[in-house]
């Protein structure tokens, strides 16, 4: 547990971020969890998983952007991704982070930037998922999402909720009234016990409760987890309630449990792989190590293999 919180703390250290991203030596460590640096590097991978009946979600890594120019560059990158998805006919949508679009500077700026991406996605018949970040921006993220949803359709834009947050069940009930397409995940940030369940069992119990609420809503949602217990609970519930495999999708991260991703796709479930790429890999990479500190050894082994 100490290791986990230490790694999450390190993930937020700006100085280390700059240091790590400057050296190509560190870049080599990231390949387990990061698909490449450019859109062109990612496309062949997505073709490969498409051929195995998995879809993808592009994630351009960058978060907590602290100036409007950089936020604008992020929007332009996403417009290029959407254009490339259409041009190459790969099966992928996109995931965005609002702090990447300037939420830390100005809520209106983040809304306008996200809106530009959703407008483009809508025109191309694609879909934008708004990732959920730390609890300091949960409400702002939901507020911006609701604004977007009031203008765009259910199948244009969706949001993420985290089962470790105490507020999430109520948020899910509220968002389903719109309705909204929701990705449920456990949550990857360090949160105080007032806002998040400190015990894994409570996080898992809440995950199952929210998953059941989502699946019962009749809306197409994303069940994002690598946890076999959560996956079995989802399959059991869907089977019991007569909810077809085509009514929801499982989602997993690039580089994690590829075997299980393939298996679920072979079993006829919709499977989407979240594919991060880009130069600003540091916080994302550190959160992946924090989820499973054993990954540190995996990463170290790769360095010494040369
Ligand atoms: C598609 C997708 C999108 C996500 N989007 C968000 C988001 O918007 N906001 C957010 O806060 N979080 C997001 N997450 C991360 C999520 O919140 C969890 O931190 C992460 O998925 C680990 O939780 P778990 O459900 O896999 O269960 P855990 O209980 O953490 O893990 C279960 C098992 O999965 C495997 N596993 C899990 N993590 C790793 C890892 N890093 N390396 C190797 N094996 C691992 C291990 O076998 C582990 O025993 C997302 C996750 C996915 C899959």
Atom index in ligand 1 nearest the CA of residue 251 equals 1
Which structural domain range is residue 165 located in? 34-280
Say yes or no to pLDDT of 303 above 60: no
CA distance 157 to 29: 33
Quick one: tokens of 95? 């995931």
Phi then psi for 228, rounded to 5 degrees? Answer: -55, -30
In this predicted structure, what is the pLDDT of residue 154?
A: 98
**pLDDT higher than 70, residue 14:** no
Task: State the pLDDT at residue 236.
Answer: 98
Query: What value does the mean pLDDT take over residues 13-37?
Result: 73
What pLDDT is recorded for position 282? 83
pLDDT tens digits, 48-89: 999 999 999 999 999 889 999 999 999 999 999 999 999 999
Residue 2 above 60 pLDDT?
no
Q: Does the pLDDT of residue 28 top 70, yes or no?
A: no
**Per-residue pLDDT at 101 exceeds 90:** yes
Interatomic CA distance for residues 197 and 88, integer angstroms? 43
* CATH code for the domain of 105: 3.20.20.220
> Looking up tokens 């996080």, which residue turns up?
203
Mean pLDDT, residues 229-257 taken together = 97
Q: What pLDDT, on a 0 to 100 scale, did the predictor assign at position 7?
A: 72
**Which of 111-115, 123-127, 298-302 comes out lowest in average pLDDT?**
298-302
**Does the pLDDT at position 157 exceed 90?**
yes
Does residue 211 lie in a domain region?
A: yes
**Could you tell me which residues come within 8 angstroms of residue 33 by beta carbon, excluding any fewer than 6 positions away?**
253, 254, 255, 256, 276, 281, 284, 285, 288
Q: Degrees (nearest 5) of the Cα angle 114, 115, 116?
A: 90
> Within a domain: residue 127?
yes
Is 16 a domain residue? no
Cβ-count burial 100-131 (b if 16+ within 10 Å, e if not)? bbbbbbebebbbebbbbbbbbbbeeebbbbbb
In a domain? residue 15: no
CA nearest neighbour of 88 among 36, 42, 34: 42
Q: Tell me the C-alpha distance between 253 and 275, whole Å.
A: 7
Structurally, how many domains does the chain consist of? 1
Task: Give me ligand 1 centre to Cα 151, in Å.
Answer: 31
> What spacing in Å lies between the alpha carbon of 225 and ligand 1's midpoint?
5
pLDDT at 306: 44
Is a pLDDT exceeding 90 seen at residue 211?
yes
Cβ–ligand 1 distance for 224 under 6 Å, the answer: yes
Rounded to the nearest angstrom, the distance between the alpha carbon of 132 and the centre of ligand 1 is 13
Mind listing the pLDDT tens digit for each residue in 245-276? Answer: 999 999 999 999 999 999 999 999 999 999 99
Does residue 253's CB lie within 6 angstroms of at least one atom of ligand 1?
Answer: yes
Residue 121 has pLDDT above 80, yes or no: yes
- pLDDT tens digits, 169-181: 999 999 999 999 9
Strand partners, 276: 59
- The continuous run of DSSP H or E covering 185 comes out as strand 181-185
Q: Going by C-beta distance under 8 Å and a sequence separation of 6 or more, which residues neighbour residue 141? A: 98, 103, 130, 132, 133, 159
Domain membership flag for residue 163: yes
Q: How much is the pLDDT for 46? A: 98
Predicted pLDDT at 15: 66
d(CA 59, CA 252): 13
pLDDT confidence band for 5 (50 / 70 / 90): confident
What is the separation of C-alpha 89 from the centre of its chain, rounded to a whole number of angstroms? 22
For residues 277 and 41, is the Cβ–Cβ distance under 8 A? Answer: yes
The helix/strand/coil state of 126 is: coil
Is 55 inside a domain boundary?
A: yes
As a whole number, mean pLDDT of residues 196-212 equals: 98
Q: Say yes or no: CB of residue 132 within 6 Å of ligand 1.
A: yes
Q: Report yes or no on 18 lying in a domain.
A: no
186 lines ligand 1 (CB under 6 A): yes
User: What pLDDT is recorded for position 41?
Assistant: 96
Note the pTM of the prediction, 2 decimals.
Answer: 0.93
Nearest ligand 1 atom to the CA of 200 is 29
Is 153 a member of any domain?
yes
Average pLDDT over residues 138-160: 98
Per-residue model confidence (pLDDT) at position 4: 74
Whether residue 237 has pLDDT greater than 80: yes
């Amino acid at each position: 547990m100490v290791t986990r919180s230490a790694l999450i703390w390190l993930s937020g250290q700006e100085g280390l971020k700059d240091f790590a991203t400057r050296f190509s030596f560190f870049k080599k460590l990231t390949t387990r969890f990061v698909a490449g640096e450019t859109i062109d590097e990612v496309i062949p991978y997505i073709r490969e998983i498409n051929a195995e009946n998995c879809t993808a979600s592009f994630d351009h890594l960058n978060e907590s952007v602290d100036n409007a120019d950089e936020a604008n560059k992020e929007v332009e990158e996403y417009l290029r991704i959407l254009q490339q998805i259409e041009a190459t006919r790969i099966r992928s949508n996109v995931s965005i982070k609002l702090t990447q679009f300037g939420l830390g500077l100005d809520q209106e700026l983040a809304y306008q930037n996200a809106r530009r991406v959703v407008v483009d996605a809508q025109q191309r018949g694609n879909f934008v998922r708004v990732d959920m970040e730390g609890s300091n921006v949960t409400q702002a993220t939901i507020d911006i999402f609701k604004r977007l949803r009031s203008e765009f359709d259910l199948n244009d834009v969706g949001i993420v909720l985290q089962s470790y947050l105490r507020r999430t069940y109520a948020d899910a009930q509220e968002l389903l009234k719109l309705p909204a397409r929701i990705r449920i995940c456990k949550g990857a940030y360090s949160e105080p016990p007032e806002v998040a369940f400190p015990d894994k069992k409570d996080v898992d119990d809440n995950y199952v409760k929210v998953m059941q609420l989502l699946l019962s809503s009749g809306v197409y949602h994303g069940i994002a987890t690598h946890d076999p217990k959560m996956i079995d609970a989802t399959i059991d519930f869907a089977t019991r309630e007569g909810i077809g495999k085509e009514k929801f999708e499982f989602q997993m991260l690039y580089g994690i449990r590829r075997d299980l991703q393939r298996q679920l796709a072979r079993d006829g479930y919709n499977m989407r792989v979240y594919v991060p790429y880009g130069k600003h890999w540091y916080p994302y990479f550190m959160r992946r190590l924090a989820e499973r500190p054993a990954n540190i050894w995996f990463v170290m082994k790769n360095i010494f293999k040369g």
